[in-house]
Amino acid sequence: MPVVPNAVERLVMLRLNRAPGPVLDLVGGAAERTLGLALELDLFAALEASPTSLETLAARVDCDPAGLEPLCEFLVALGYLRREADTGRYANTRLTERWLLDADGVGAWLGFWNEVVFPFWEDNARTAIETGAPRQTLYEWLDEHPEQWRLAHEGFRAAANVLAPTVVEKLDVPGDARVIDVGGGHGRYAVALAERHAGVRATVFDAGPAREVALETARESGVSDRISFVAGDYTVDSLGENYDVALLFNVVHAHDGPENVALFERIRDALTPDGRLYVLDQFDGTARTALSRATVGFVGLTYLVTLGQRAHDVTDVAAWLAEAGFEVRDRHSFLTAPGVSLLVASPAN
Ligand SMILES: C[S@@+](CC[C@H](N)C(=O)[O-])C[C@H]1O[C@@H](n2cnc3c(N)ncnc32)[C@H](O)[C@@H]1O
């Protein structure tokens, strides 16, 4: 777990400024790298069955016990492992079981960051900050390294797993709706809608590398007969027509204003006149808590480094929607996803 300083430490470091607050970020940075290493070693999976001695654990993950012990001890201090006082054996904590091992957790999301996004940062952050854009976008890099696309889609799906149950509750979807999930990738949101409404049929529209993961998501949830996948480029290929609902989740941050207006127009043409467009993303100007503000700041920098874009201001996105012929009807935020907002729009009459 990220280190949480106690009340006295917060007072001394953050209020009185009498001890160096940046040390918290040093520990946090080391924690992220350590967690990434533990995931790479499959350490948590190796402890899944029962508490295990250091020697047995070291043999399972093919490490020297003397090398593994400091890693385990740091993970104990961070709250990912516990060490039994009487036997000295290590075990996973509830946090690890729920969020790193559970199929609905974020292990694959962190793995994607560790293996793809942070190495991409190392190579591109400086250039992106100095010039305003990375040498190439993360999507272009993934196209050159197609074997990593699955890791990306599994990572996006892990993040979606956390949010999908809450988000679909906010979607006003007729029970027999035809839905298009534009840039729907792994298909988790389309599948969540199909699970909730037995009459919903959904099309996931994305580039070819997402197909296998999207169809796998549908199969595992038992809704394959109502989910289809269309491979294409949403900027040029036909999206189809007469959809009742369109989802555009975590896509607008990859584009500038004119590109987003053009995409919204294409979606409007694919909707029925009384259809709905739901746009989900992290928008500037929506954060109300320290964690939300930090999250929007973090993803804003990430979108610069990975896509040459930014976390768009929510008023800009609303203006682009209006320019494309939509009326924004509502906006929601989510306790379980700091910084994420959902805009509800419908074609203006
Ligand atoms: C950040 S992911 C979002 C996936 C999903 N909507 C979600 O919210 O978890 C962005 C998706 O957009 C897709 N994408 C990017 N550019 C695209 C394009 N020009 N045409 C079709 N799909 C595209 C990517 O393949 C990826 O699956």
pLDDT of residue 301: 96
pLDDT of residue 336: 77
Task: Give domain 7-101's CATH architecture.
Answer: Orthogonal Bundle (1.10)
pLDDT of residue 339: 80
Question: Which one, of 316, 324, 311, 244, lies nearest residue 282 by Cα?
Answer: 311
CA 251–ligand 1 middle distance (angstroms): 6
The residue contributing the CA closest to ligand 1 atom 27 is 185
Domain segments of the chain as ranges: 7-101, 107-347
In angstroms, the CA 175 to CA 172 distance is: 9
HSE of 321, CA atoms in CB hemisphere, 13 A: 24
Pocket of ligand 1 (CB under 6 A): 139, 156, 160, 183-185, 206-207, 210, 233-235, 249-251, 254
pLDDT of residue 1: 56
Question: Which one, of 102, 37, 98, 31, lies nearest residue 67 by Cα?
Answer: 37
DSSP sequence for 293-332:
HHHHHHHHHHHHHHHS----BHHHHHHHHHHTTEEEEEEE
Kindly give the number of the ligand 1 atom that is closest to the alpha carbon of 237. 20
CA 163–ligand 1 middle distance (angstroms): 17
Kindly give the number of the ligand 1 atom that is closest to the alpha carbon of 181. 6
For 107-347, the fitting CATH number among 1.20.120.530, 3.40.50.150, 1.10.10.10, 2.40.160.40 is 3.40.50.150
The residue contributing the CA closest to ligand 1 atom 11 is 183
pLDDT of residue 334: 85
* Count of CB atoms situated within 10 Å of the CB of 11: 13
Q: Do domains 7-101 and 107-347 have the same CATH topology?
A: no
* Count of CB atoms situated within 10 Å of the CB of 105: 18
pLDDT of residue 4: 85
CA 347–ligand 1 middle distance (angstroms): 23
CA 90–ligand 1 middle distance (angstroms): 40
CA 193–ligand 1 middle distance (angstroms): 18
pLDDT of residue 2: 64
DSSP sequence for 209-255:
GGHHHHHHHHHHTT-GGGEEEEE--TTTS---S-EEEEEEES-GGGS
Question: Which one, of 291, 300, 277, lies nearest residue 334 by Cα?
Answer: 291
Kindly give the number of the ligand 1 atom that is closest to the alpha carbon of 184. 6
Tell me the pLDDT of the chain (349 aa) as tens digits: 567 899 999 999 999 999 999 999 999 999 999 999 999 999 999 999 999 999 999 999 999 999 999 999 999 999 999 999 999 999 999 999 999 999 889 999 999 999 999 999 999 999 999 999 999 999 999 999 999 999 999 999 999 999 999 999 999 999 999 999 999 999 999 999 999 999 999 999 999 999 999 999 999 999 999 999 999 999 999 999 999 999 999 999 999 999 999 999 999 999 999 999 999 999 888 888 888 888 889 999 999 999 999 999 999 999 999 999 999 999 998 887 878 899 999 999 7
